[in-house]
Amino acid sequence: MTEYVAPRGTRDILPDETPRWQYVESKFRENCGLYGYREIRTPTFEHTELFTRNLGEATDVVSKEMYTFEDRGGRSITLRPEGTAPTVRAYVQHNLGAALPVNKAYYIGRIFRYERPQAGRYREHTQLGIEAFGSIDPAIDAEIISMAAQFFKSIGIEKFELKLNSIGCPNCRPIYREALLQFAKDRVDKLCESCVSRYEQNPMRMLDCKNPDCKAVLADAPRLPDHLCDECAEHFAKVKGYLTALGIDYTLDPNLVRGFDYYTKTAFEFVSGELGAQNAIGGGGRYDNMVHEIGGQSTPAMGFGLGLDRLMLTLDAMGINLPIDANTTAFIASMGSDAHDAAVKLLAQFRQQGISADMDYTGRSLKAQMKIADKLGSKYVIILGEDEVAKQTATVRCMATSDQKSVPFAELAETLQV
Ligand code: HAM
């Protein structure tokens, strides 16, 4: 017999685990609401060119990680490998800038990258993202970063590191790139194979190579923040000023370059000490030219993407118990066919009254039904036998205290709602 398993790099999040995920998602929505972000839902797949033209041809994502296929109509389609380009596409396509000067959107979506799976790195993962269009004000950079920090705290993650950098703009970056190439020119033979190709195609990516030899070779390389033009330097100084004013700690990391070519000015990453090699729980930055490059009016923008899967791993590693409600309020355990039929009616009433309830449909013993109620996390078990049906009363057992009392059918709803 064929053994079916989920494809490599994908996972099932089972019903026992989903309440924790839903809790974190609801906290994210709540925080988005507090900061004025409204949800956008874009398709799971897009035309391939959206990504190849806007993320950077030499990036790992575009050059080797996209799930690209031809659909039956002969179009090249790609499962979204990130959420920013689709949001920009929607912003331009629907001319959202015409309605509001600043548009703030958030999304919770599946992202697909053909990466080598390991702990915290999957081929399908979920990102919680926000994007703000229409403002160059460094205050919005600080707002976006502080929203992520507030969200982390709201789910109990108090300890994380914020790495911050400015990667300049098309005016200053080419000058820095040249300085970096000059520095690396005589040292290329000491770099790893990947950095040799980065040297040729995407030299700034050499800066975040994890190989210790490359790190040593590039330790004295020119630093990006020292090459910023006046506009970028002033912007960066203001971002740092606002973050300090908001009480948000950061570490300056001149080697933080991020994985996509669209970034300009502010770049940041949140790192958790609870994870192994894949320790980035989120990252983002400005991308002031992408709206124009996609065909819209020149519109500055900035956002972040947080990896929900890695957030869940962080919560597990920190042993954080989230305040999750029991799944069902009441479970009806019945014995005998009259009691079973009475249970069907009671269940319907409870649900119409807004009380979550369930029952056994397999004719198990009372003991087995109690076990199921316990597994489902029911607050109460309502025990119904032939006698109870005859008297139109039920035994209500509180699972937390094991207290039991006899309650007339007509008063059950009231008892369960206290
Ligand atoms: P990114 O840094 O590529 O940025 O991804 C954001 C986050 O998604 C990462 O920090 C990480 O937590 C999570 N992540 C990425 N790849 C994987 C994976 N294979 N498995 C599990 N988690 C993963 C972006 O995607 C940008 N679009 C973020 C952004 C929004 N920048 C501006 N606006």
What is the 3 state secondary structure string of 262-276?
Answer: CCEEEEEEEECCCCC
Q: Please give the distance, rounded to the nearest whole angstrom, from the Cα atom of residue 234 to the centre of ligand 1.
A: 27
Q: Please give the distance, rounded to the nearest whole angstrom, from the Cα atom of residue 307 to the centre of ligand 1.
A: 6
In ligand 1, the atom with minimum distance to the C-alpha of 306 is 7
In ligand 1, the atom with minimum distance to the C-alpha of 84 is 27
Token code pair at residue 140: 């919005």
> Ligand 1 — pocket residues by CB below 6 A?
82-84, 113, 115, 120-122, 125, 127, 129, 131, 259, 280-285, 303-305, 307, 309-310
Q: Please give the distance, rounded to the nearest whole angstrom, from the Cα atom of residue 245 to the centre of ligand 1.
A: 27
Sheet with 161-166, side-by-side order of all strands? 38-39, 103-112, 124-133, 301-307, 280-286, 264-271, 161-166, 251-252
Residue 1 has pLDDT above 70, yes or no: no
Q: Please give the distance, rounded to the nearest whole angstrom, from the Cα atom of residue 198 to the centre of ligand 1.
A: 21
From residue 171, alpha-carbon distances to 177, 232, 264, 375 in Å are 11, 9, 10, 61
Residue 127 has pLDDT above 90, yes or no: yes
Instruction: Give the tens place of pLDDT for each residue, 351-392.
Output: 999 999 999 999 999 999 999 999 988 999 999 999 999 999
Residues of the chain with CATH 3.40.50.800: 330-416
Instruction: Give the tens place of pLDDT for each residue, 174-202.
Output: 999 999 999 999 999 999 998 998 898 88
Residue 326 has pLDDT above 70, yes or no: no
Rg for the chain, CA atoms, rounded = 27
Residues of the chain with CATH 3.30.930.10: 18-172+228-317
Residue 274 has pLDDT above 90, yes or no: no
Q: Please give the distance, rounded to the nearest whole angstrom, from the Cα atom of residue 20 to the centre of ligand 1.
A: 21
Q: Please give the distance, rounded to the nearest whole angstrom, from the Cα atom of residue 413 to the centre of ligand 1.
A: 47
Closest by Cα among 98, 107, 100 to 43:
107
Evaluate whether 68 touches 98 at the Cβ level (below 8 Å): no
Instruction: Give the tens place of pLDDT for each residue, 206-247.
Output: 998 888 999 999 999 999 999 999 999 999 999 999 999 999
CA gap 157, 154 in Å, rounded: 7
Tell whether the torsion through CA atoms of 250, 255, 259 and 262 is positive or negative. positive
In ligand 1, the atom with minimum distance to the C-alpha of 270 is 10
Closest by Cα among 75, 80, 72, 92 to 52:
80
Q: For the residues 380-408, what does the mean pLDDT come to?
A: 95
In ligand 1, the atom with minimum distance to the C-alpha of 311 is 12
According to DSSP, residue 35 is labeled T
Q: Which of 42, 121, 127 to mutate to test the pocket of ligand 1 (most atoms within 8 A of CB)?
A: 127
CATH for 330-416 (3.40.50.10490, 3.40.50.970, 3.30.70.890, 3.40.50.800)? 3.40.50.800
Evaluate whether 80 touches 40 at the Cβ level (below 8 Å): no
Q: Please give the distance, rounded to the nearest whole angstrom, from the Cα atom of residue 192 to the centre of ligand 1.
A: 25
Tokens 């990036």 -> residue:
59
Question: What confidence score (pLDDT) does residue 136 get?
Answer: 98
Of all protein residues, whose CA lies closest to atom 26 belonging to ligand 1? Answer: 305
Of all protein residues, whose CA lies closest to atom 21 belonging to ligand 1? Answer: 121
Q: Please give the distance, rounded to the nearest whole angstrom, from the Cα atom of residue 137 to the centre of ligand 1.
A: 24
> What is the topology classification, in CATH, of domain 18-172+228-317?
BirA Bifunctional Protein; domain 2 (3.30.930)
Residue 2 has pLDDT above 90, yes or no: no
